Amino acid sequence: MFIEGGSFAVTAVDGTGLFDPAAHGMAPRAISTSCYHGHVGRYAVVEQRLTLRELQLGSAAEPPPLAGVRPRQDEDESWHYRGLELPIDFTGRLLIGRGNLADRPYLTMGFRPAWLYPDVRELTFQAGALLSATDCSAALAEVRAAVAATATRPAPGEETRDWIDRTFSLTYAYSWPGRPQ
């Protein structure tokens, strides 16, 4: 996610309308063991609107052009669309984070939750229009202090498979534990 002149990672999604390859006639296949769903999108907020800037797609054959852009095959044999300006009609919230903590706990797999970033924002959209961008860094620092010692491994009694599934989720419950909904 590119916003305010910087690059952020999406840590949680609550809403509908992010890019869906099937809606564009694409049937992605796994890119690697770390990307079974077969696509990675890079979004940006441009003039207060959410857009898809880049797309990496796993596909056996060359996929169709997207928004007038033809894909190019990368060394890993996935397809990459660069220079997109595809409007995204997302409605909901995105939690994004950036930066590294000197003393951050080591997470062996999955997505890094928001509490592992020093700079965190919550973006709210309506049909792709940015309504608000709230700095949540201080609140997530408090969460980090409370959960850092235990959140990077299965909870007592939690099945390892359930913990793995949780670490690969983009839910608010995983990314911001204890946040009132």
pLDDT tops 90 at residue 147:
no
Left if phi > 0, otherwise alpha if psi is -120 to 50, otherwise beta: which for 110? left
Q: How many CA atoms lie within 13 A of 144 on its CB side?
A: 22
pLDDT of residue 179: 82
pLDDT tops 70 at residue 154:
yes
pLDDT digits (tens, 9 = 90+) for 31-85: 876 677 889 999 999 999 999 999 999 988 899 999 999 999 988 789 999 999 9
